[in-house]
């Protein structure tokens, strides 16, 4: 069940990124990030209203920083959208996530389930990397810039997921999501106002002029985070990342078809290679677990 939920959460992420990217083309990077975060915050506040924390203890301050990493992810994704395909964007983000997740699992950081790297995981990782190369290259011009910032979003996604999951253990899923978007919304407003002098009031007044469906990205984001926070303690970070990718990449392929009106065979082959690498890792991981039980 956790694997299926991971795939669903990944699909939601792909839809969210696409909607936010289109919104960015309409109102600009900073205004799109502000609108997205504000709507997600309103929804998260509604869901968490009246909820009581699981434990009557004070959560460490660092657990609330997930929203900071989240706002960086949103901003960078909006910058990269349109410069490379949705499939490539998601694939590059995965590469960053896989690297960080493998380190987290290998050293059992942040309370993660220990999953040591072995030769089979390395082989699986090589297959996944080949798939990512097929999905992403060749690149030129702004695509190179998009590659760099999208890799960074992969790091940010894992840190956001870990911090939100840790906060959810102390509080609960709904309160964790609320704090994620509260901190993120405050962060993006400060960033937009100080660095870009984005007119905040004008941004909110433009709501009535925007097609309503372009404002639904926050709904998919909240749903994805709720699901991810729920399953994070139940599945190793490395495999959570990869199953999220399955949902992301194949939803991304469908979105690319919808936006460009054509099917990219190269993207499909790349996605299948990544899936093959995932299956390779899971297959030998299951064999190892069965040997330890017997």
Give the model confidence (pLDDT) of 161-171 as tens digits: 788 878 887 87
Give 195's DSSP letter. Answer: H
Over residues 31-88, the pLDDT tens digits come to 888 888 888 899 988 888 767 766 667 778 888 888 888 878 888 888 887 777 777 7
Q: Is the pLDDT of residue 293 over 70?
A: no
DSSP readout, 228-259? HHHHGGGS-HHHHHHHHHHHHHHHHHHHHHHH
Single out the residue of 4, 12, 5, 2 nearest to residue 248, CA to CA.
Answer: 12
- What's residue 97's pLDDT? 77
Report pLDDT digits (tens) over 163-199.
887 888 787 778 888 888 899 888 888 877 777 777 7
DSSP state of 65: G
- Smallest CA-to-CA distance from 158 within 246, 95, 226, 116 is with 95
Rounded Cα–Cα distance for residues 249 and 113 (Å): 25
Q: How far apart are the first and last CA of the chain?
A: 25
Residue 101 clears pLDDT 70, i.e. is over it: yes
**Ramachandran bin of 276, using left for φ above 0, alpha for ψ from -120 to 50, beta for the remaining angles:** alpha
CB contact at 8 A, 149 and 92: no
For residue 266, what pLDDT band results from cuts at 50, 70 and 90?
Answer: confident
How far apart (Å, rounded) are the C-alpha atoms in residues 74 and 30?
10
Please tell me whether residue 38 adopts helix, strand or coil conformation.
helix
Higher pLDDT among residues 227 and 161, named by residue:
227
What pLDDT score does 11 carry? 92
**What is the reported pLDDT for 111?**
67
Q: What is the mean pLDDT of the chain?
A: 80
The whole-number average pLDDT for the span 241-256 is: 80
Q: How far apart are CA 112 and CA 93, in angstroms?
A: 21
């Amino acid at each position: 069940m956790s694997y299926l939920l991971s795939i669903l959460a990944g699909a939601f992420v792909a839809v969210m990124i696409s909607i936010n990217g289109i919104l960015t083309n309409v109102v600009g990077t900073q205004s799109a990030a502000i609108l997205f975060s504000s709507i997600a915050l309103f929804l998260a506040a509604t869901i968490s209203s009246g909820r009581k924390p699981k434990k009557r203890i004070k959560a460490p301050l660092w657990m609330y920083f997930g929203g900071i990493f989240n706002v960086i992810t949103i901003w960078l994704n909006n910058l990269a959208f349109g410069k490379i395909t949705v499939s490539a964007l998601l694939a590059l983000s995965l590469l960053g996530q896989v690297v960080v997740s493998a380190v987290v699992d290998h050293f059992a950081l942040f309370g993660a389930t220990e999953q040591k790297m072995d030769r089979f995981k390395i082989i699986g990782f090589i297959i996944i990397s080949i798939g990512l190369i097929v999905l992403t290259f060749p690149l030129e011009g702004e695509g190179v810039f998009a590659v760099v910032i999208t890799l960074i979003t992969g790091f940010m996604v894992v840190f956001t997921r870990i911090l939100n999951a840790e906060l959810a253990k102390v509080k609960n899923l709904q309160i964790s999501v609320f704090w994620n978007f509260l901190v993120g919304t405050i962060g993006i407003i400060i960033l937009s106002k100080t660095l870009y002098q984005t007119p905040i009031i004008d941004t909110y007044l433009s709501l009535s002029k925007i097609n309503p469906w372009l404002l639904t990205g926050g709904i998919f984001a909240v749903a994805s985070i709720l699901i991810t926070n729920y399953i994070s303690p139940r599945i190793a970070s490395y495999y959570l990342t990869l199953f999220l990718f399955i949902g992301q990449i194949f939803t991304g392929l469908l979105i690319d078809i919808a936006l460009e009106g054509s099917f990219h065979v190269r993207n499909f082959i790349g996605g299948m290679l990544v899936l093959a690498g995932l299956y390779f890792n899971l297959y030998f991981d299951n064999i190892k677990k069965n040997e330890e039980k017997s």
